[in-house]
Amino acid sequence: MSWIRPVLLRPRAGLLIVFAASIPVGAQIRKWTSPAESESSSLNPHTFTPYTIVSKEPVSSTSSIFTLRHNTARAEPDDLKDVWKKAVWSIQVKQPQLQIARAYTPLPPTTPAGSETEDDYGNLRLLIRKEHNGEVSTFLHRLPEGSAVEIRGPNIELEIPDDVREVVFLAGGTGIAPAMQVAHALAARPETRMHILWASRRKEDCMGAKSDSSDVIKPGRLSGWRSLFGLEEPVVIEDYRGEDTQPGRIVRELEALREQSKSSSGNGLSVDYFVDEEKSFIKPGHVSKLLQPATLQPRSLKGTRLLLVSGPEGFIEYWAGRKLWADGREVQGPLGGVLSQLDLKGWRVWKL
Ligand SMILES: Cc1cc2nc3c(=O)[nH]c(=O)nc-3n(C[C@H](O)[C@H](O)[C@H](O)COP(=O)(O)OP(=O)(O)OC[C@H]3O[C@@H](n4cnc5c(N)ncnc54)[C@H](O)[C@@H]3O)c2cc1C
């Protein structure tokens, strides 16, 4: 998802209607593209539906989790469960005065995959970062609890293949939301494995995080190593959990997803954290290490291996090259950036 590239009802120039990139969808999910099917649904991709902001929980100084509930409190139709199981998806929220809309990515239910309640599907939870001077995100952050908002969707950004075996997910900032959707979907699929590398701007975004990689080296040793050995690009994963630091909300949800993935498949999810303000960045070495045969799964297990990149435009461009616009749609564009320099060994790259 090129985070900053907006999805507009009526762009500032007033010319185009554009949608986020998507790929062909499967039979279950295709239902959502048919107006006839969607008219009875509380949430549909064709018309805006009224929702209420039932809670707004700050998770850092710039981001909050918004919980939205459909105005009739009717549970979402069963079809949305299929979307949760099979896809990375977004909805659009309208800014009514300006008649513009932006895409946001619902966070997965907090109850384990397979035991969700109707409430889990009836509520939509959005992690929204307040962009400086951003039209829609600032508007939403100003709204008090109890306010009405209008929503349409789902828009399918990626259908997760049935035969997926491994996923490496490079997430920048709120790009963690689609990573959590994938982790939720995979938690119910045995013999899958996922590794998330999450880069945040500030430490507060991932307070109390503890990276899963075994090569954890405390901050401080890095500078010593650099000066001693002149290492340009050490593979260093830092640990953001101090003695008494409580994990932040998103970190706790990632830890819960990790636990669910362990109990259901025995393979599971692992997460490593990086923080710009701590000068800790995802390096090509971190990624190429994960693409090595047998780092995640024995290669004897046939299936699709996905390398997903999601976050602000600059993040996607740095790792995988720009997405492009063609015929009024955002498309993948050629593979560029750092990933085009790595030996991808059959991994399929998708820019979200
Ligand atoms: C599929 C998809 C899913 C997404 N999911 C999420 C999500 O889960 N959470 C999330 O927080 N975001 C998500 N986004 C990003 C979101 O859609 C918005 O792009 C984001 O909230 C910013 O929108 P805005 O209207 O607030 O900012 P905009 O008004 O679009 O402005 C964006 C930035 O550009 C700057 N800007 C605007 N106009 C100009 C100009 N003329 N010159 C220079 N700078 C300018 C603004 O100051 C601001 O910093 C997603 C995007 C996509 C495409």
**Interval between CA 32 and ligand 1 midpoint (Å):** 25
For the chain, where are the alpha helices, taking DSSP H only? Answer: 27-30, 35-38, 79-86, 118-122, 135-142, 176-187, 221-229, 249-265, 284-291, 313-320
H/E stretch holding 309? strand 304-310
Tell me: is residue 261 an annotated ligand-binding position: no
**Whether 128 and 195 share a structural domain:** no
- The candidate with the shortest Cα–Cα distance to 150, out of 232, 30, 47, is 47
CATH of the domain at 104: 2.40.30.10
**Whether 46 and 146 share a structural domain:** yes
pLDDT, residue 3, reads 52
Find out whether the beta carbon of 59 lies less than 6 Å from any atom of ligand 1.
no
**Whether 259 and 316 share a structural domain:** yes
**Whether 205 and 342 share a structural domain:** yes
Q: Determine, yes or no, domain membership for 135.
A: yes
Q: Which of 158, 181, 203 is the last residue of a domain?
A: 158
Find out whether the beta carbon of 113 lies less than 6 Å from any atom of ligand 1.
no
Q: Determine, yes or no, domain membership for 3.
A: no
CATH of the domain at 326: 3.40.50.80
Split into its structural domains, the chain has a count of 2
Q: Which of 110, 139, 158 is the last residue of a domain?
A: 158
**Interval between CA 6 and ligand 1 midpoint (Å):** 6
Find out whether the beta carbon of 323 lies less than 6 Å from any atom of ligand 1.
no
**Interval between CA 172 and ligand 1 midpoint (Å):** 14
- Ligand 1 atom with the smallest distance to the CA of 95 is 25
**Whether 151 and 133 share a structural domain:** yes
191 phi-psi bin (left φ>0, alpha ψ -120 to 50, beta other):
left
- The candidate with the shortest Cα–Cα distance to 161, out of 315, 319, 347, 1, is 347
Find out whether the beta carbon of 174 lies less than 6 Å from any atom of ligand 1.
yes
**Whether 313 and 173 share a structural domain:** yes
**Whether 35 and 98 share a structural domain:** yes
pLDDT tens per residue, the chain (352 residues)?
555 444 444 333 222 222 334 443 444 455 554 544 444 457 889 999 999 999 999 999 999 999 999 877 565 556 688 899 999 999 999 999 999 999 999 999 987 666 777 667 778 999 999 999 999 999 999 999 999 999 999 999 999 999 999 999 999 999 999 999 999 999 988 889 999 999 999 999 998 898 988 654 434 344 433 433 333 344 445 566 655 678 999 999 999 999 988 865 556 899 999 999 999 999 999 999 999 875 555 555 689 999 999 999 999 999 999 999 998 889 999 999 999 999 998 899 999 9
Q: Determine, yes or no, domain membership for 14.
A: no
**Whether 211 and 337 share a structural domain:** yes
**Interval between CA 4 and ligand 1 midpoint (Å):** 4
Q: List the residue whose alpha carbon is closest to atom 15 of ligand 1.
A: 3
**Whether 105 and 214 share a structural domain:** no
- The domain in which residue 337 lies consists of 164-351
Q: Determine, yes or no, domain membership for 6.
A: no
Q: Which of 100, 130, 158 is the last residue of a domain?
A: 158
> Ligand 1 pocket check: which of 1, 23, 93 to mutate, most ligand atoms within 8 Å of Cβ?
1
- Ligand 1 atom with the smallest distance to the CA of 105 is 8
CA dihedral 12, 16, 17, 23 (to 10 degrees): -120
Q: Determine, yes or no, domain membership for 4.
A: no
Tell me: is residue 121 an annotated ligand-binding position: no
Two structure tokens written together for 8: 């507009």
Q: List the residue whose alpha carbon is closest to atom 6 of ligand 1.
A: 104
**C-beta neighbour count of 148 within 10 angstroms:** 12
**Whether 68 and 203 share a structural domain:** no
Find out whether the beta carbon of 128 lies less than 6 Å from any atom of ligand 1.
yes
Q: Determine, yes or no, domain membership for 174.
A: yes
Q: Determine, yes or no, domain membership for 99.
A: yes
Find out whether the beta carbon of 1 lies less than 6 Å from any atom of ligand 1.
yes
Q: Determine, yes or no, domain membership for 245.
A: yes
Non-local (6+) Cβ contacts of 266 within 8 A are 190
Find out whether the beta carbon of 342 lies less than 6 Å from any atom of ligand 1.
no
**Whether 314 and 244 share a structural domain:** yes
**Whether 201 and 329 share a structural domain:** yes
Q: List the residue whose alpha carbon is closest to atom 7 of ligand 1.
A: 104
